Amino acid sequence: MYGRFRGRHILSMHDFDREDLEFIIAKAKVAAARLKEHEHSLKELLKWKRMCFVFYAPSTRTALSFKGAADVTGMTFDGIMDPKTSSAAKGEILIDTVRNLSGYFNDVFVIRHDNEGAVRRASEFAVYPANHRLEGQPIPCINCGDGANQHPTQTMTDFTAIDMRFGTIDGLVYLFNNDMKYSRTVHSDAEALLLFNPKKVYFCCPTELAPPESLLEQYARSGIDYKVIGRYEDVLPEVDVFYDTRPQLNLGHISDPTKEKIRAVFNVRAAAIRKHAKEDMVIMHPLPRDFKFMSPELEVDDLPQAYYFPEAHTGLPTRVALLALVQGVRL
Residues 273 to 292: which contact ligand NCD by CB under 6 A? 286-287
3-state secondary structure (DSSP) of residue 15: helix
Please identify, using beta-carbon distances, which residue of 120 and 127 lies nearer to ligand NCD: 120
Spatial CA neighbour of 25 closest among 142, 158, 143 = 158
DSSP per-residue string spanning 110-145? EEEESSTTHHHHHHTT-B--TTSTTTTSBPPEEEEE
Shortest Cβ 288–ligand NCD spacing (Å): 6
Single residue of 27, 151, 187, 289 touching ligand NCD by CB under 6 A: 151
Q: Which is nearer to ligand NCD, 102 or 178 (CB)?
A: 178
Site string for ligand NCD, 67-106 (x = CB under 6 A): ----------------------------------------
How near is the Cβ of 129 to ligand NCD at its closest, in Å?
Answer: 30
Rounded Cα gap, residues 259 and 255, in angstroms: 6
One-letter amino acid for residue 3 of the chain: G
CA–CA dist 229, 204 (Å, integer): 5
Measured N-to-C along each axis, helices 213-222 and 184-193 cross at an angle, to the nearest 10 degrees, of 10
Integer Cα distance of 86 and 154 in angstroms: 26
Where in the sequence numbering do the catalytic residues fall?
A: 61-62, 90, 112, 151
The string of DSSP letters for 33-64 reads HHHHH-TTTTTTTTTT-EEEEEE-S--SHHHH
Pick 62 or 102: Cβ nearer ligand NCD: 62
Site for ligand NCD in 292-331 (CB under 6 A): none
Q: Give the residue, chosen from 187, 246, 289, 319, that forms a contact with ligand NCD under the rule CB under 6 A.
A: 246
65 binds ligand NCD (CB under 6 A): no
Which of 145, 147, 198, 296 lies at the binding interface for ligand NCD (CB under 6 A)? 145
Residues contributing to the site for ligand NCD (CB under 6 A): 61-62, 145, 151, 154, 184-185, 246, 286-287
